[in-house]
Amino acid sequence: MNYLNKIYTYTKGYGRVYFFSSLTVFGATIFSLLNPLIIKYIIDIIIQNSSISDSYFEKSMDFLVGKSLLNTAVLLFTFAVFQGTCLYFKGKLSSIASEGMVKSIKDRLYTKLQNVKYNYFNKMETGDLLQRCTSDVETIRKFLAIQLVEVVNIILMITIIFFILINLNLKLSMIVLSIVPLMFIFSLYFFIVVKKHFKISDEAEASLSTVLQENIHGVRVVKAFASEDLEIKKFQCSNKHYSDVTYKLIQLFACYWPISSFFSFLQMGLVLFLGIKWAVAGSVTIGTVIAFGMYVRHLEFPVRNLGRVLSDFGKAAISFERIEEILNNQTDFDKNEELKKPEIKGKIVFKDVKFSYIDKPVLNGVSFNLDIGETLGILGPTGSGKSSLIHLIVRLYDYDSGSIKIDGIELKEIDKKWLRKNIGLVLQETFLFAKNVKENIGITKKTLDDQDIFAAAKTASIHEGILSFKEGYKTQIGEKGVSLSGGQKQRIAIARTIINDHKILIFDDSLSAVDIETDALIRQELKKKHSSSTTIIISHRISSIVNSDKIMILEDGKISDYGTHNQLKERDGLYKRILKIQEDGMKEGIL
Ligand SMILES: Nc1ncnc2c1ncn2[C@@H]1O[C@H](COP(=O)(O)OP(=O)(O)OP(=O)(O)O)[C@@H](O)[C@H]1O
Ligand SMILES: [Mg+2]
């Protein structure tokens, strides 16, 4: 019942289209089911010249076509045309409804995924999300386009046939009716069993694609480690599993068709055997026996198919659930009118901030002040919580306790979207879109202004580099475009952020892949063009943060030291140790 409600909510807005579609199904069913009665009329009334019975149908036929074979043929032809027309509109209307609904489901899914909380993507696998947005939606599309109308068709077909058969001959119809439940139960049982195998086969296919996707994605690592043979074996293993599962599925179907055909033949055999026996005895007409035979053929497909439709309904229900799981997620952007959208000037104050990922404590009482226009350098071992700290500033996660204030306003009172639009963050992992260089740099801009883009690229020291590409700023990035070096990617990512004149700029290890000289050049340019912006630079390289107004040493989620370069280099601690290692490395030419 719950699922029926869900289907109902999905079909909202398309009720009228489905209603007309059901009407065309009704029309097609009626026209196809009239044929056996017309054949019976031809045999009994026209050929055998029997008298017209009390049947309403025979009286109508007599009125319409009399005893003329030609008129009856014209009537049969007309009905065939009507039936064809109904079938055409049935297909057309149900695909209009299903495509419309699927489009709206996809739009809602994509919008939801754009707005869902950031940590949702930590727990979900990309492959799984893609499968939900593609093959699960496709399962629903098929169900809505084919099966939903088919249910109407099957129910109508079976009901009308039973009604006609009982009216034609009660004894013969009892024989037909006695076999139908057997066929239906067998078909339902088969499809319930086969559903499990469909699931196994789906999973096997998904794991085969994962192996393939992983291999293609990590082809450089595979080549670098010369592990092609291992990868081939891994693929062959998955491929064999998929092929075995598919073979099992084919075998199951190979059993299904002959057994369900056996029931049909049994039904037909009984109708013909008893029908002819009773016809010879004169208790039924030959036309009735032939019409019965034709109706038995008509019944075969819907009864067999009903099992399939019911089991596919189960499959679609699983897809419905998987899609609903995404749609029911809480969004990241609360529509709280009270959230503030203040002008961001750049003063940042952390007071005893504590933060943990579910049960993993990461920041343990972090406090510091940054005035407008100041630069803060953050240094610390891997995993010490540097990235987590700056993710809190743009509210990708919310802190558990303590306080973070921007320009005196508590962060939790500021609208997230507003905050992210007004703070420039270059993430530690560089991701560029499969677009050209210009579009990548201007991705946050509504219109692309060449001068803005060139200026940002110049500050990020990548302008000359871009011009040296064959197609300059039009150079395509990504799989089908040029492969950029790590440093080029980082600099394009920096340009993408600084193109907006933010009052707070954050660089999370964003210069790790560029040489020391370029690193210095970029910082120099930043100082020139964005001197009024509060800047946070996370780096493992002392030279990147040496000129910062303040330097924070973060160890194990706590500030272990804080000061200027001159203060820190004198104090025993991590900063002094790293400084020594890096200076020695420079002298020896290692770094
Ligand atoms: N999404 C997450 N869920 C759970 N734990 C996480 C998550 N992201 C990071 N962590 C953990 O939190 C700790 C701090 O991670 P963080 O990324 O802040 O370190 P970092 O100082 O930036 O390190 P690095 O210098 O390597 O970039 C690590 O132990 C890490 O394993
Ligand atoms: Mg980090």
Q: Considering only CA atoms, which of 291, 290, 305 is closest in space to residue 260?
A: 305
Residue nearest to atom 2 of ligand 1 (CA): 357
Q: What angle do CA 379, 384, 390 make, to 5 degrees?
A: 70
What DSSP assignment string belongs to 182-249? Answer: HHHHHHHHHHHHHHHHHHHHHHHHHHHHHHHHHHHHTHHHHHHTT-HHHHHHHHHHHHHHHHHHHHHH
Regarding the beta carbon of 360 and ligand 1, being less than 6 Å apart is answered yes
Q: State the pLDDT at residue 115.
A: 84
Return all residues near 76 (Cβ < 8 A) that are at least 6 apart: 35, 38
With b meaning 16 or more CB within 10 Å and e meaning fewer, what string describes 538-557? bbebbbbbbbbebbbbbeeb
Q: State the pLDDT at residue 94.
A: 84
Reply yes or no on whether the pLDDT at 36 is more than 80. Answer: yes
pLDDT category at 370 given cuts 50, 70, 90 is very high
* Mean of pLDDT values over 8-28: 83
Regarding the beta carbon of 428 and ligand 1, being less than 6 Å apart is answered yes
C-beta separation of 286 from 48 below 8 A: yes
Distance CA 326, CA 120 (A): 10
Reply yes or no on whether the pLDDT at 386 is more than 70. Answer: yes
Helix (H, G, I), strand (E, B) or coil at 11: coil
**Residue 276 alpha carbon to ligand 2 centre in Å:** 85
Q: State the pLDDT at residue 586.
A: 67
**Residue 330 alpha carbon to ligand 1 centre in Å:** 24
Q: Which of 9-23, 60-74, 148-162 has the highest average model confidence (pLDDT)?
A: 60-74
| Residue 563 backbone class (left: φ over 0; alpha: ψ -120 to 50; beta: rest) | left
C-beta separation of 526 from 455 below 8 A: no
Distance CA 195, CA 591 (A): 60
Q: What is the pLDDT of residues 241-288, one digit of tens each?
A: 999 998 998 898 888 888 888 888 898 999 999 999 999 998 889 999
What DSSP assignment string belongs to 552-567? Answer: EEEETTEEEEEE-HHH
- pTM here is 0.73
More confident site: 10 or 457: 457
| CA separation, residue 439 to residues 397, 443, 489, 494 (Å) | 29, 6, 14, 14
Residue nearest to atom 20 of ligand 1 (CA): 383
Return all residues near 462 (Cβ < 8 A) that are at least 6 apart: 488, 491, 492, 494, 495
* Mean of pLDDT values over 305-326: 79
For residue 117, count CB atoms less than 10 angstroms from its CB and return exposed for 0-12, middle for 13-18, buried for 19 or more.
Answer: middle
- Sheet containing 348-357: give its strands across: 360-370, 348-357, 401-406, 409-410
Residue nearest to atom 6 of ligand 1 (CA): 357
Residue nearest to atom 3 of ligand 1 (CA): 357
The strand ranges marked E within 428-526 are: 504-508
All domains of the chain, ordered by start, with CATH? 2-327 (1.20.1560.10), 348-430+501-588 (3.40.50.300)
Which atom, in ligand 1's list, is nearest to the CA of 540? Answer: 25
Reply yes or no on whether the pLDDT at 75 is more than 80. Answer: yes
Helix (H, G, I), strand (E, B) or coil at 394: coil
Q: State the pLDDT at residue 482.
A: 66
Torsion over CA: 55, 61, 62, 64 (sign): positive
pLDDT category at 337 given cuts 50, 70, 90 is low
Q: State the pLDDT at residue 2.
A: 64
Q: What is the mean pLDDT of the chain?
A: 87
